Amino acid sequence: MDSAKEYMENNWQRFLKKKTKNKNTDEDIEEVPSPSAAVRKSTESSTDEKNNYDDPADSNNEDSSTNTSQLTWGQKIFRTKWTCPGTNRTNDFIFRTWLSEVVKYCFFLALLTICTFSYTNSDSFYLTSAMKSLYLDDTGFHDVHTESEIWEWLEGPFLKAVYQHPVEYNVMSTPPRIRMQRVNPRDCNMPDLVEDGELCYDEYHKSRENKDNLIVGSDLPQPARYTEIPGAIAGFDYWGQALPYLRMYWAGGYLLHLPAPSDNFEVPSKAIDEIRYLKNELDWLSRGARIVLIDCQLYNKNVNLYTIIRMSFELPASGGVITLAKFSTIHVYSNTSTLDITTVICEILWLILIGYYFGEKIYEMKILGLRGFFKHLALRTQFFNLIFSMAVVIFKMVKYAIINTDDITNCDPSVQNDCYLANFVFWQNQFNYFLAIVTFLSWIELNKFFTDFESTAVFTKTLRRCGTDLISFIIVFMMVFLAYAELGVLIFGGELDDFKNMFHSIYTLFRIILGDFDFHSMEQSNRILGPIYFIAYVFIVFFILINMFIAIISDTYSEVRAELSVPGEHRYPISEHVSKLKESFWGKLGWSSHSEDDDSEDDNQIDWYSFRKEMEKSGMEEDDIKAYFQKYDENGNLQLNRKEFAKLEESLTKLKNKDLDSVSQKSANAPSVAAGDIFGQARETFVDNENFDLLRNRVAKMESAFADLTLKVDGIIVKLDQLGQRQKQARIPAMENASKTK
């Protein structure tokens, strides 16, 4: 009770002072006594000492040039809140420093956005869609399931798509290339189950790859001898589906270059003969073959785009055929395109700004020290994001500088092995992924500028405070989650594609959390364990663990909101200065400011929204707020007039005095007990330890509830007094206007 009084009294005059500043008036405000004025008078001196702090808001009228003149040249060039520390800075100086950081970073983000969107082109989607329709849908690429169907597809639909039905405006810049890789044979593990002399072939691995000639002789054609080609990553260049994760195909194999398309749109007989030569003479798709790769690249001069096509038929050791096709586009810079010139200029400016930020970070390291710099998460994130950004820009500029359209078009694949852009496309895709991460982090970093506002600080404080609890929860969650993932592989891995390995199982379980699941397939795979597995997973992970996660966030959010709602405990100088500038702006225009923090004042009445906002700040539940308001809102217009407001205030005051009087009366009327009867009564009313602890806990809960009730009543009375004070302030201008009119 005393702590509640002390808290309310300590913030009483400060609250009135704040309201006076917000209204920008020089009129004297009548001092409104608080509900416990006598206590306030006796403790006024101690309270003033407690609330005396160096508030920059009180010195906003000082010229910010006083602070600026004290800065060094390094602080003036790299002006941030980290390079300009100090508690004696005014709100105006802090705001100007914050504003300069925001402007610089927004310019940096604008350049990044321009460059990012210039790398994407809507024509890429339409172009790849047309190519997929031609090479996949019309040819029945995904309907190939056996070795014989591969030969039928190559001799028929594929050659027709390349030579007879090309997409308009797209020219085959390099002749199509077909590539095959195979593995060495070995003795079978179970010789009793196979015929004599029969060999076995493992799945693909670089150490098992067979590089022998397919036929005996000298001066063999490329399809009959192994040829090394440039690889994308340490000699590897293709990541298929039949191989385990992080395993790729080596760049090399037996190559066939088909003839270039002609203008008569006919399938050359040479192309048909070469494919039949592979099938009949060389037996390309023997039992040791593991993959057939087809590379095509076309150029569209209208949109200045290359289309890189890579289709593959994988022949796993288990049998069958796995089809996979990838379509990518590459934009080549042009010296005459306005968009390309603008993009290059933005990239150069972006690179210059990255250099500036590097200098800024180095200066911050000098001010804070290396350990102090990396102690802050925001500084660490921005520093590493700058390194990634510089790598992105340099890589983008260099890789487009080495592409020459004429060189690629006139390249002879029989002489040069680097006529195809498949490896370049691989790094282009990695670059796109990397750029996406950099862009995402850059936008997330923008949030750091809004943590200095009271309305947005609650989100960052919530995440920061619940970080430890979330880490503990994630550890427990992942143990349960991985257990279910491994269990799913063991139960369904042999039948369902969603559980064929650990990675697919993890993806499937995440999809189940989001509501995307195939219950019938699990039930058909195992009629008993399937439903049990699904129901147990949904119950434990979804209904228990996910709700615990939400509860952690929700409880922490409530704590932070309650903590930030305490006036005077937290300062937001930037937010305060922005509010002051807003009030000054509206004042110069002669308009009244109607911000969300101001209470609506209309005809000397208090509306429902203002009443609810003030009561929520005092800790009162919304149901109780509604009950009080409806009880005293006699006319039901959702507004309390002067008479209704007085009744409400009187009722709350009586409620508080009644609770205090009842406690005092019970203490005074307590019956006296003679000393001789104490032990007799104790023997009659004696309880054991268990019941004593139970009673003690109940009494403690009652005391806590009573203290909380008293605190809420005090808070409500204070808020009502504040509302009454605002009503008096609102009547003063009205009375002056009325007197002037008369």
> Would you state the torsion angle of the CA atoms of residues 418, 421, 425, 431, taken in this order, to the nearest 10 degrees?
60
Give the Å distances, CA to CA, from 262 to 156, 294, 339, 372.
18, 19, 34, 67
Q: What is the distance between the alpha carbons of residues 321 and 291, in angstroms, rounded to a whole number?
A: 9
CATH fold for the domain made of 463-564: Helix Hairpins (1.10.287)
Identify the pLDDT of residue 433: 82
Q: Is 644 annotated as a binding residue?
A: yes
Give the Å distances, CA to CA, from 365 to 356, 361, 446.
14, 6, 21
Identify the pLDDT of residue 668: 53
SS3 label, residue 728: helix
Identify the pLDDT of residue 704: 60
Q: What is the distance between the alpha carbons of residues 276 and 155, in angstroms, rounded to a whole number?
A: 8
Residues in Cβ contact with 392 at an 8 Å cutoff, skipping those fewer than 6 apart: 431, 434, 435, 438
Residues 365-407: tens digit of each pLDDT: 888 888 888 888 788 888 888 888 877 877 776 666 656 656 6
Residues 458-515: tens digit of each pLDDT: 888 888 888 889 999 999 999 999 999 999 999 998 888 889 888 889 999 999 988 8
Report yes or no: 261 and 163 within 8 Å, Cβ to Cβ. Answer: yes
Q: What is the distance between the alpha carbons of residues 539 and 549, in angstroms, rounded to a whole number?
A: 15
Half-sphere exposure of 623 (CA within 13 A, CB side): 0
Half-sphere exposure of 30 (CA within 13 A, CB side): 13
Closest CA to 257 of 234, 223, 233: 223
Say if residue 610 is exposed, middle or buried (CB neighbours under 10 Å; 0-12, 13-18, 19+). buried
Using left for φ > 0, alpha for ψ between -120 and 50, and beta otherwise, residue 182 falls in: beta
DSSP symbol at 160:
I
Residues in Cβ contact with 594 at an 8 Å cutoff, skipping those fewer than 6 apart: 600
Query: What is this structure's pTM?
Result: 0.62
Q: What is the distance between the alpha carbons of residues 530 and 523, in angstroms, rounded to a whole number?
A: 5
Identify the pLDDT of residue 20: 42
The per-residue DSSP string of 462-487 comes to HHHHTHHHHHHHHHHHHHHHHHHHHH
Identify the pLDDT of residue 76: 79
Q: Which residues of 617-633 are buried (b: 16+ CB within 10 A; e: fewer)?
A: ebebeeeebeebbeebb
DSSP symbol at 167:
P
Q: Crossing angle, helix 689-741 and helix 12-23, to 10 degrees?
A: 30
Give the Å distances, CA to CA, from 54 to 51, 70, 81, 565, 580.
10, 19, 18, 21, 19
Helix, strand, coil in percent for the chain, rounding step 5: 60, 10, 30
Q: Which residues of 249-264 are buried (b: 16+ CB within 10 A; e: fewer)?
A: bbbbbbbbbbeebeee
In sequence order, the β-bridge partners of residue 607 are 639
Report yes or no: 172 and 162 within 8 Å, Cβ to Cβ. Answer: yes
Q: Is 54 annotated as a binding residue?
A: no
pLDDT below 50 — which residues of the chain?
1-64, 66, 594-603, 663, 670, 673-676, 678-679, 681-683, 734-735, 738-739, 742
Identify the pLDDT of residue 289: 92
Closest CA to 352 of 116, 118, 107, 120: 107
SS3 label, residue 299: strand
Regarding beta strands 227-228 and 252-257, do their DSSP bridges make them parallel or antiparallel, or are they unpaired?
antiparallel
Give the Å distances, CA to CA, from 433 to 247, 328, 439, 450, 675.
20, 14, 10, 28, 86
Identify the pLDDT of residue 275: 92
Closest CA to 285 of 311, 307, 306, 254: 254
Q: Where are the beta strands (DSSP E) in 301-439?
A: 305-314, 322-331
Domain residue limits, the chain: 122-331, 463-564, 599-665+681-741
